[in-house]
């Protein structure tokens, strides 16, 4: 059994339901989840945990269990702790969040994908019969902001030289050789759970802001 982190999410055991299952064809096609994953985590959280004025809302999330990458990953996440406090926490990388008002078919959907990044939209608009249906759904964007401020998954942080050096050092310890400039985007992408193309963009920004070449970044040259 799992409880929710008091520091990151809602009060322990407050209206949360957790289950695991293989990804459905819809989740693979629409969300972009990898077809070779063994299981997807489904989490439903009653939004009243984030304030009484959210009592009519609920948050449904799906994601993948990933190794812990630190307290504040760059992507949307949900952190769970086993009842046994001595056991490690479980970090869920969230790919889809849906925020519902009661059981209304019009809802807010927030997607994240390692290649495509983030998107937020209102779904089920064809079921709206009055303007309030759309307003309630769009209120979910405010709730999403509250959730992210408490549970994490903030906008992607810039790449820092210190983080690159740490990852390069870990690679060298494990492989017995330094990472090459050509390998660096892939090594960083694997460590940060982002796509290689997005990591290329982050490295480009880091090179421009630091005035360093990729080789200088790898070997820990000081900023000029």
Residues 99-139: tens digit of each pLDDT: 999 989 999 999 999 888 889 999 999 999 999 999 999 99
Residue finishing a domain among 132, 151, 170? 151
Q: What average pLDDT is seen over the chain?
A: 81
Is 121 found in the same domain as 184? no
As a whole number of angstroms, the distance between CA 57 and CA 101 comes to: 4
Q: How many residues does the chain have?
A: 224
16 part of a folded domain: yes
Structurally, the chain folds into a number of domains equal to 2
156 part of a folded domain: no
Is 62 found in the same domain as 8? yes
Q: Among positive and negative, which fits the CA dihedral 65, 98, 20, 17? A: positive
223 part of a folded domain: no
As a whole number of angstroms, the distance between CA 153 and CA 30 comes to: 21
Residue finishing a domain among 120, 151, 182? 151
Is 169 found in the same domain as 123? no
Residue finishing a domain among 126, 151, 176? 151
Instruction: Output the six-digit token pair for 197.
Output: 């193309």
Is 193 found in the same domain as 127? no
Is 72 found in the same domain as 177? no
62 part of a folded domain: yes
Is 99 found in the same domain as 48? yes
As a whole number of angstroms, the distance between CA 194 and CA 207 comes to: 18
As a whole number of angstroms, the distance between CA 197 and CA 214 comes to: 15
175 part of a folded domain: yes
Average confidence (pLDDT) over 30-40: 86
Is 109 found in the same domain as 20? yes
**What's the burial of 97, exposed, middle or buried (CB within 10 Å: 0-12/13-18/19+)?**
buried
Taking only the tens place, the pLDDT of each residue in 150-186 is 655 444 556 788 888 888 998 899 899 999 999 998 8
Res. 4 pLDDT band, cuts 50 70 90: very low
Is 167 found in the same domain as 79? no
126 part of a folded domain: yes
Confidence at residue 37, expressed as pLDDT on a 0 to 100 scale: 85
- Does residue 146 carry a pLDDT above 90? no
Overall pTM surpassing 0.85 (yes/no): no
Cα–Cα distances in angstroms (integers) from residue 108 to residues 74, 84, 158, in the given order: 22, 35, 27
58 part of a folded domain: yes
Share of the chain above pLDDT 70, in %: 82
Is 107 found in the same domain as 187? no
Range of the domain at 120: 2-151
Cα–Cα distances in angstroms (integers) from residue 216 to residues 200, 203, 206, 221, in the given order: 16, 12, 11, 5
- Short-list 199, 214, 210, CA closest to 75: 199
Confidence at residue 132, expressed as pLDDT on a 0 to 100 scale: 93
- Does residue 192 carry a pLDDT above 80? no
Share of the chain above pLDDT 90, in %: 27
Confidence at residue 91, expressed as pLDDT on a 0 to 100 scale: 86
């Amino acid at each position: 059994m799992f409880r929710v982190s008091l520091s990151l999410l809602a009060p322990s055991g407050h209206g949360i339901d957790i289950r695991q299952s293989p990804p459905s064809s819809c989740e693979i096609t629409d969300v972009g989840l990898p077809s070779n994953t063994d299981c997807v985590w489904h989490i439903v959280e009653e939004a009243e945990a984030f304030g009484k004025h959210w009592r009519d809302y609920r948050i449904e999330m799906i994601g993948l269990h990933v190794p812990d990458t630190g307290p504040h990953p760059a992507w949307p996440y949900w952190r769970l702790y086993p009842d046994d406090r001595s056991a490690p926490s479980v970090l869920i990388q969230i790919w889809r969040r849906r925020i519902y008002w009661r059981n209304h078919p019009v809802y807010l959907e927030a997607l994240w994908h390692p290649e495509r990044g983030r998107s937020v939209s209102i779904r089920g608009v064809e079921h709206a019969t009055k303007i309030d249906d759309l307003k309630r759904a769009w209120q979910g964007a405010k709730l999403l902001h509250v959730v992210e401020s408490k549970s994490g998954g903030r906008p992607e942080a810039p790449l820092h030289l210190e983080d690159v050096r740490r990852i390069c050092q870990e690679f060298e310890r494990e492989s017995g050789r330094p990472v090459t400039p050509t390998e660096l985007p892939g090594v960083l992408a694997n460590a940060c759970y982002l796509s290689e193309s997005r990591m290329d963009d982050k490295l480009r920004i880091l090179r421009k802001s630091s005035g360093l070449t990729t080789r200088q970044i790898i070997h820990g040259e000081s900023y000029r």
